[in-house]
Each structure stands twice: as C-alpha cells, then as structure tokens.
Structure 1
Amino acid sequence: MDEFQQIARRHQLATRASTAFLYSICVSVAMNFFWEPGKIYASGITGFAQLLATITKRFLPFTLSTPILLFLLNLPLFVLAWRQIGKRFTFFTFLAVIFSSIMMKVMPITELTFDPIICAIFGGVVNGFGTGFALKNGISTGGLDIIGLVLRKKTGRSIGTINITFNVFIVLAAGFVFGWPHAFYSALSIFVNGKVMDMVYTRQQKMQVMIVTDQPRNVIDHIQNRMRRGITIVHDAEGAYQHDAKTILFTVISRYEMHDLQVAMQESDPRAFVSISDTIKILGHFYEPTV
C-alpha cells in the first residue's frame, strides 16, 4: 500500500509540474502572438507587468521586460500563498511563474494578425484556458489567482469575477498608454479570459441537487462515499402517479463533482429522479477541498 501511495504521489507531482509547463506555453502564446502585437494589456499581474514595462521603456533610462517584472511582482504573493493556501500549492505556483517568465523570453513575438479584436479574443481564450486548466489541477498561475483563491474562501465569488473586478485599473492604463480603443480591446480580452477560465475551472461552480428515491439509505451511502457532501432528508413524500412512498434528498455539489454524482446514482438507484440546477449563492459552510 505504501508503494502504491508513493507511485500515486509521484504521478500527481509530475501531473502538476506538466500543468505548470503547459500553462507557461499558453500564456506565452497569448502574450507574444496576440497581446503584444495587438497592443493589448492582459489581466491581473501580467497586465500590470506589461504596464510597468511600457513605462520603463518610454520614461526611464533603463528597460525592464515583462517576463522579469512578472516574476518580481509575484514574489510577495508567493508569501501570501505560502501562509494562506499551502506549501505545495505555492511550490507549483512558483514553477508556473518561472516557466512563464522563461517561455515569454524565449518565445519570439510573432505578428499573426494586426486586428486588435482578434488579438483580444484569442489572447483571452488561450490564456483563460491555460489558467483554468492550471487551477483545475491544483496550482495557480500567480498574481490575482492567489488573491482570488484567498478571497473566494471568504466571499464565495468566482475566480473570473474577482479577476474582472481587479482589472479596471489595467483597462484605464491601456486607455492612457495606447488610446481608448485599445482600452476597450483590453477590456474585451479580460472579459473573455475570465469567462473561459470559469468554464474550465469548474470547482467553484455550485449546483443544487434534488433526488427523489425509494432507496434513500443506499443513495446516501454511495454519495457520501464518493463526495464529502452533507445531505438533507425529507421523509414521507408521495409519488402522485402510483401514490408510493418516496424520500427527497437535497445536497449541493460543485460542477467538478458532476461525474461522481452520476456514478453514485447509477450504482445506488438508477431509477431515481434527479434534478440539478445552478446555485447563485450559498450561505453557510460548504466544504472546499484543499489545493
């Protein structure tokens, strides 16, 4: 058993390291193929690094590149992640930032198109996918992802929404530096980035589940064996067609756990009626797995 656990742990570590490298490719493609050629600022700390790089280039006798500034700006956030989120999470976040800084420096800036709208949309899609995939696999990409994860634990707001809120300053900066049309293009890219991120990173999307069954104990056991979720039981329900006794179960899961729920229901009561709906907001305790 110990040997199996060691193999599983090594596999998990390799997966997270590979995810960090994949993210670095995505953000570098977004930056060097779309954002830089289109004069578009990215979201979060990456966009702030672009802004500082532009300022040093225009107004200071020395120039600091975006990759170097990206790493320097993330240093204090590594401390926040270490204290508030976890050591392993911080280590892989550090890897993601290091890989990203190197890949941005190594990958040449390539002008695929001069259309800023295309650059805004595709830059947001590529980066949003990379960021969401990284978060889904238990690492962050640094910057506002760390702040977003910390605030999500306290507020329940989605990662994408938090990023969009923090990026008003980036949009305004793009307007002053590149002109207001490019501010709107940057806003479009940030919006697309946030939405794609939420589509990929589904762990924070909550769903309410209502189950009508005549085998409540079996269903409860299977769900709780697969997911750490509380269940509310409503006894003495009655089916209107055959007037047979039913029990109604209520629980809340994340969209990430949808497959686990489907498997649990198939094993426990395939004939149960299950209704699943999006949940806007949750008050009270909802278990969040550690990253």
Structure 2
Amino acid sequence: MKTTHRWLSIVEGCLLVALGIHILNSAGLLISGTAGVSMILLRLTDLSFGTLFFLLNIPFYILAWCTLGRDFTIRTFVSVSLLSALSELMKHYVVLSIHPGLSGALGGLLVGFGLIILFRHNASLGGLNILAVYLERRFSIHASKTTLFADISVLIAAVIFLDLSQLGYSLVAFLLLSSVVGRYHRPPKWAQSSLVDAKAN
C-alpha cells in the first residue's frame, strides 16, 4: 500500500510539473534547472523539450547513484522519463492561449508544488534537482536555495534569447517556484536521518 501511494504521488507530481512547463512553453517563458536549459536549447536545435530534458539528465544519474542511493536514482529516472513522455503528449494534445503574466504565475506554482511532491517521496526530476537533494541531505542546505541559484543562472543565460517582457514573466515563475519550495518543502524522514548522520561524522 505504501509503495502504491508513493508511485501515485510521483505520477501526480510529474503531471503538475509537466502542465506547468507546458504552460510556460506556450508563452515562450522559462523555468529553472535542467528544464530551463532544455527550454533554451529548444531555440537552438530541432529536438523536442521531452527529448532534450531526458538527454541532459543522463550524466546526473551517476551522481545520484553514487551519493543518494539506488532507490532514489530509480525513482528519479522514472520521474524524468515520465515527465518527458507527458511533455510530448501535452505538446500534441493540449493547446493553450494564456497571457504571459498568468502563464508565469501558474507555471511557477505548478512546477513548485510538483517538485515538493517528488522531494517528499525520495525522487526528483534529475539535473540540479539531484544536486539540491544531495546538498540538503549532506550539508543541510535547503533545496530552495539551490533552486534559486539555478533560477538566476538560467535567467542570465536566457538574456540573449528572450526579450525584456519574457524575462520579466519568467522571473515571476522563478520567484514563485522558489517561494513555494522554500515555504512548503520540509526534508522528509529519510533526509533528516541522513543529516543527523552527516553532522555526527
């Protein structure tokens, strides 16, 4: 029963993130982390977001396997694969027309709450999410701080691709995502116990 609950929650988290990213993509906006890098690369290649997101995450599985364990890595791999598939489906079957300001707000909130669900069930969406979970588990650095740093880095990289209005609306998404993770995310029991062990050592 516990396993079923965990996997259902992971699916729900991926659905929220996929919808949030689709809303942002529909308005030409960005989000942080590996997803944001994938959105930038969309402007430079013919590959889809789902394909780019999946490929960019492959190197991070090594870090996850070596530092966060097999179970976390497997759940993260499934989450990344599921998000990639959902993104492809939404690209073809979900048509949206939303004001960029509302897109930034809704997209940032949906991605933020989706990430919280995944973090609470010992999973992530790869890339900098893996780094955020590792830093939280090993050094007690809250995940919101890592995501905020990722937000700023992606925003700086996006300056050459987006106009000022798109940058502004993307910043709204970044801030709301970081705010949601900062206010609602609490390290789960598996992370708390690891933090205690790390401090003891």
Identity %, equivalent residues: 22
Contact 1:20 1:95 in 2 (8 A): no
Contact 1:53 1:66 in 2 (8 A): yes
What's 1:104 paired with?
87
1:79 paired to 2:62: yes
- The structure richer in strand per residue is 1
Whose radius of gyration is greater, 1 or 2?
A: 1
Q: Distance in 1 between matches of 2:174 and 2:94?
A: 20
Where do residues 31-50 of structure 1 align in structure 2 (5 Å cutoff)? 31-32=21-22, 34-50=23-39
1:44 partner letter = G
1:153 paired to 2:137: yes
1:142 partner letter = G
1:121 partner letter = A
Q: Distance in 2 between matches of 1:30 and 1:110?
A: 13
What's 2:159 paired with?
175
In the alignment, which of 33, 50, 74 is matched to residue 67 of structure 1? Answer: 50
Where do residues 212-227 of structure 1 align in structure 2 (5 Å cutoff)? none
In the alignment, which of 84, 107, 131 is matched to residue 115 of structure 2? Answer: 131
What's 1:197 paired with?
181
Greater shift in the superposed pair: 93-102 or 191-200: 191-200
Q: Distance in 1 between matches of 2:140 and 2:70?
A: 22
Q: Distance in 2 between matches of 1:65 and 1:129?
A: 24
Contact 2:27 2:103 in 1 (8 A): yes
What's 2:196 paired with?
286
Please list the CA deviations of residues 227-268 of structure 1 after superposition, one character each: whole Å capped at 9, or x if unmatched: 9xxxxxxxxxxxxxxxxxxxxxxxxxx7xxxxxxxxxxxxxx
In the alignment, which of 88, 96, 115 is matched to residue 71 of structure 2? Answer: 88
Q: Distance in 2 between matches of 1:166 and 1:125?
A: 16
Cα shift at 1:287: 5.0
Contact 1:40 1:120 in 2 (8 A): yes
Contact 1:27 1:126 in 2 (8 A): yes
**Which runs of no fewer than 5 residues in structure 2 stay unpaired?**
none
Cα distance change of structure 1 residues 287 and 187 upon mapping to structure 2, 3 Å threshold: farther
1:118 paired to 2:102: yes
Greater shift in the superposed pair: 74-83 or 166-175: 166-175
What's 2:125 paired with?
141
Greater shift in the superposed pair: 86-95 or 144-153: 144-153
Instruction: Give TM-score scaled by structure 1 length.
Output: 0.62
Cα shift at 1:173: 3.1
1:17 paired to 2:7: yes
**Which runs of no fewer than 5 residues in structure 1 stay unpaired?**
1-10, 57-62, 205-226, 228-253, 255-284
Please list the CA deviations of residues 79-102 of structure 1 after superposition, one character each: whole Å capped at 9, or x if unmatched: 110110010111111111111000
Contact 1:20 1:99 in 2 (8 A): no
Would you say how many aligned residue pairs link Structure 1 and Structure 2?
192
SS in 1 for 2:27: coil
Q: Distance in 1 between matches of 2:52 and 2:121?
A: 26
Contact 2:77 2:126 in 1 (8 A): yes
Contact 2:10 2:121 in 1 (8 A): no
Q: Distance in 1 between matches of 2:95 and 2:177?
A: 20
Instruction: Give TM-score scaled by structure 2 length.
Output: 0.87
Cα distance change of structure 1 residues 109 and 174 upon mapping to structure 2, 3 Å threshold: farther
Q: Distance in 2 between matches of 1:79 and 1:15?
A: 27
Greater shift in the superposed pair: 152-161 or 18-27: 152-161
